Amino acid sequence: MSEVPLLLRETSGEGRATDRGPRILAIESSCDETAAAVVEGGWVRSSVVASQVSVHAAFGGIVPELASRHHLGAIVPVIEEALAQAGCGALSGFDAIAVTEGPGLVGALLIGVQAARGLAAATGLPLFGVHHMEGHVFSAMLGDDALAARELEPHLALLVSGGHTELCEVTRVGRYRLIGATRDDAVGEAFDKVAKMIGLPYPGGPAIDALAAEGDPRALSFPRSMLGDPTSLEFSFSGLKTAVLVHLETRGAPRSRQELADLCASFQAAVVDVLVAKARRARARLGLGRVHVVGGVSANRGLRAAMAAAAEEDGFVFCAPPLRYCGDNAAMIGGAAAARIVAGAAPSVFVHTSKAIDDPRVLLP
């Protein structure tokens, strides 16, 4: 397999398409966003995301059957819009199609995969299935009109989303090693559930993040789970969730906006302290010079600020994607697929709901 730097180093949108790596139509439908993008290597030419947040907000969480139905309605217009925004009337001049193959909700994944299969059959283009979390890893590398694409360098990735909380050693594309994970809830899930307990809308992460900025993180003392054992790289958030519930049962619901903000800030501080401490510990143990935080929760302002401060103190490079690529999108799937193609991966798709990022299916020789 080649060690070609997969993301080319231009800093503006001027370069010739052929300088930039394979041109790919990428599709993502693993959860509650229907997304399509046109990418060339690590460069994004268009990225369209149709969010279903308003559909699921009424239920306080994702309803899988509704997610599938809305993907079905959105998938064709979203793909057409991504092609139009990239100035591509059709799929001529493309090298491949990429699609999220898992993990995710099976009914949701199948809508994107079947659309991708149809397009691949109609055009003869090769079809590459991409692991959703590998996509998030590549979200930190993307370039577009406003941003230079980054080269993938060895790093520690802290993967934080609605379904995942993991520490992963990334050596190069297709070379991933999970070194820590949550034993129970994912961190995004904890944000969403705590938000629901205190009457904030779904998804809870952005709502808690916004209120936390107005609150005192020392107002309430919530547990920092699994920090005591200096060897552990595992996470647990169910105890923290229970602590918030017990607090609400004993002290009652917040009686003012300030009390609500203090609760949000204190909960967020407990989450951030654990994430940052474990990431620091893992980075030091592996001797890596970079830490990337990716996934929906990487948008969290408290987490970004604390990681930036830790990077300064410990002397490592901290990187998080621009906010538009933190949540689910197809540009990251295209970026990962481009890297896989350059590295010699064979086209294939296998829909799955729970394979890890270091599954043999994802790893490259």
**Residues 280-309 contacting ligand KG4, CB under 6 A:** 295-297, 299-300
Q: Where are the alpha helices (DSSP H) in the chain?
A: 53-57, 64-85, 106-123, 132-139, 187-197, 204-212, 238-251, 257-286, 301-314, 331-342
Residue for token pair 């949540």: 327
Task: In whole angstroms, give the CA distance from residue 358 to residue 365.
Answer: 12
**56-85 footprint of ligand KG4 as x/- string (CB under 6 A):** ------------------------------
Q: Which of 204, 217, 254, 334 binds ligand KG4 (CB under 6 A)?
A: 204
Nearer to Zn ion (CB atom), residue 67 or residue 226: 67
Instruction: Give the Cα separation of 357 and 339 in Å (integer).
Output: 15
Of 169 and 328, nearer to Zn ion (C-beta) is: 328
Tell me the per-residue interface mask from 157 to 186 with ligand KG4, x by CB under 6 A, - otherwise: ----xxx-----------------------
**Which of 24, 31, 226, 274: binder of ligand KG4 (CB under 6 A)?**
31
Q: Which residues, at least 6 apart from 158, have a Cβ–Cβ distance to it below 8 Å?
A: 166, 167, 275, 279, 291, 292, 293, 294, 298
DSSP state, residue 30: S
Nearest residue to 218 (alpha-carbon basis) of 187, 278, 261, 247: 261
CB of 154 to Zn ion, least distance (A): 23
Residue 135 lies near ligand KG4 (rule: CB under 6 A): no
- Our finding on whether 143 is near ligand KG4 (CB under 6 A) is no
State the Cα angle at 181 between 213 and 304, rounded to 5°.
Answer: 25
Q: Which residues bind Zn ion (CB under 5 A)?
A: 161, 328
The correct pick among 174, 203, 217, 335 for binding ligand KG4 (CB under 6 A) is: 203
Q: Closest CB to Zn ion among 23 and 132?
A: 132
The radius of gyration of the chain's CA atoms, rounded to the nearest angstrom, is 20
Nearer to Zn ion by C-beta: 21 or 188?
188
Which positions lie near ligand KG4, rule CB under 6 A? Answer: 31, 161-163, 188, 191-192, 203-206, 209, 295-297, 299-300, 327-328
